[in-house]
Structure formats: structure tokens, C-alpha cells
Amino acid sequence: MPRSTILVAFALPIFASAAAVGCAAPVDDASRFKEAVPQTEDVKLNVPGAQVASGSKTQSISTTIGIRTLPGATTPTGADSTARYYRFTRDITGAVDWGTAVILGGIWAIVNTTPTSVDAKTAVWGPGQGNALEPVIWKFTVSEVGTNEYDYALEGQPKAGGAWTAVLTGHGYGNAHPLHKTGWFKADNDAYKTLDPARGKDQGTTKVTYDLRQIPATIAVELRPGDAVGWADVKVTHEAAGAGEVDIVGLGDIDDSKATKLEDVHVTSRWTTAGSGRADIELKNGDLPFTVTATECWSDAFARVYYEDTVNYEPASGNESACAVK
């Protein structure tokens, strides 16, 4: 499955644009418009063990998911001998959490500068550009569409002029609304690629829906790079004291040649507050003549303690009684 990035590239240019443009209204007049955007700290939800490695932070969510690599190589030994599907779980969850935090953090940075204009229903930051080398002029708009309810949009315009194109849209609620700290935003990779083809290499859309009001907190990601190459839905749930679950349902080609039919993929990983956990994998349809399932469990040191699959893709090991999650 090709990449489907959630457009982290816009964050710094638009922030620089918003900070550089002259302002026409006091900050207090716009304070209510930023309430629809959750703070970055709200989405810093970590998997037990370790943060996503710095090298993987530049990856898109779907690159980290790597549906075609689900069967994968055998569990490595040596320096990185952690259970394979523990690493998979950590990378998926970290990509969702980190990617969401970057987007919301970028928006939060924008709305905490003084807007260019404010009226009874709308606040606008920009238009402007980060520097003279940027090919796109950006603006960010928050509109009140109901009592304590807001739509927002990041739009770009070619430096030479032309129509404004939305690369990110979203919806959220103010502090007084019972749905505050819930909402969604959607990135359009194709629109971004049209505006900045040098940086925009991905396709399709990515939609993030979140509910951060209380534990369990959830972040759901819909990856839609295009019907011909498949899709994926990822839902991360964080329970109290660090326990959690990630559920992945998708359609993708698990064959490295990428010239065969698409298979249905379902992976559910659950972990305890100590970090031990379990992954259950199901592959079916496409080029598979029958359903393939596998289960892996890992300890609180993230080492494999049990593994079994229905086609002997890897040797069975351990005993299911060692699984902390049943």
C-alpha cells in the first residue's frame, strides 16, 4: 500500500505565515475560536516500552502499517529481539499518536498567534507564506457553525495566484459544549500535491477522528490512498495506566510483487499496564485459498513468549498459558 501522509509538511510554513502577517484584532476576540482544536498534550498517548524511534517519525502512518509486510520475516535476534508484533503494535500506535500530535500541534501553534481578522462568526490567520521560496500562500480559517461548534480549514493558493484549495478540514467544539475534546480532521494529499508537487508525493485522503474527553481515549484513522491499492482503518484505544488496544482492518496486497490480488487483513493487539500483550492476525481472500490466522504474545520485557499460526509460516513456540492477555 503506498503512503498516505497526514500532511505534516504544512505545519511550519503556515505557522510562520500566521506569525508574520499583520493583525487587526486583539487575541481575546479570537480566544473562543481556538477551543475547537485540542492541545497537543491531549494526544500524547504512549505505548509501554519506548517511543517511536526518531528515524520513523518522518514516516507516514500507512508506511509504518506496511500491510504487505504483515507476514514478514522471522522474529529478529540480537540487538532488537523484541516480539515482532509488539514492535508492529508500537510502531502503529506511535505513528497514529505522533502524526495526530504533529497536525494538532501545528494548528494549535497557529491559533495561538493573533489572527489577521475576526468577526462575529469567523477568525482568519493569513494569508501569508513562510518565506520567499515557498510556492504556496496559506490561510487558516475557523468558522462558528453552531453554538460552541466550529469548522476549520487550511487552504493554500499558488504564489502566482489562483483559486484557494483546502488541504485540511476539520470540526470541533468549544469548552462549553458537551462534545468538547471530540472531533475530526481530514487531510487531502491530492490537493496538497497539486499545490506543492515537489513535496506532495502521496495520494488519497487521511481522516482522523478522536475522542479525548476521558479514559478510554480513542484515535481512529481512515487511510484511503485509492481503491486500486487498498485501504486501512486503524483505531487506537488507550485505557487507564497505560493499557490499550490497536485494531487494524484493511485491504492490501501482502505479496511483495504488488501484482496480485488484494487480501483482507485484520490485526488486533492488546497490552496490559505492564506492557505485556497479545496480537491476533487474520489474512483471507485475495490470492489466499483459505483463511490464515496467527497469534503472538509478548512479556513485559517485550520478548515473544508464545507464537502459533495455522500454516506453519513460523515455527510454533512457547505456550499460550504464558499470554498475559487472553
**Into how many domains does the chain fold?**
1
* CA pair distance 156, 305, nearest whole angstrom: 51
The whole model's pTM is what? 0.83
In a domain, 87, yes or no: yes
Domain encompassing residue 142: 8-72+81-239
User: What mean pLDDT is predicted for residues 102-120?
Assistant: 85
pLDDT in tens, 128-175: 877 788 899 999 999 999 999 999 999 999 999 999 999 999 999 999
User: What mean pLDDT is predicted for residues 18-39?
Assistant: 66
In a domain, 223, yes or no: yes
Contact criterion met (CB below 8 Å) for 292 and 284? yes
pLDDT-derived band at 90 (thresholds 50, 70, 90) equals confident
pLDDT recorded at residue 61: 38
In a domain, 282, yes or no: no
For residue 186, the Cα-to-chain-centroid distance in whole angstroms is 10
In a domain, 222, yes or no: yes
In a domain, 108, yes or no: yes
In a domain, 212, yes or no: yes
Judging by DSSP bridges, how do beta strands 149-158 and 317-318 pair with one another?
A: unpaired
HSE on the CB side for 26, CA within 13 Å?
2
HSE on the CB side for 7, CA within 13 Å?
33
Instruction: Please work out, in degrees rounded to the nearest 5, the angle formed at the alpha carbon of residue 160 by the alpha carbons of 159 and 166.
Output: 55
Helix 11-20 × helix 84-111 angle, to 10° = 10
What 3-state DSSP class applies to 112? coil
pLDDT recorded at residue 59: 40
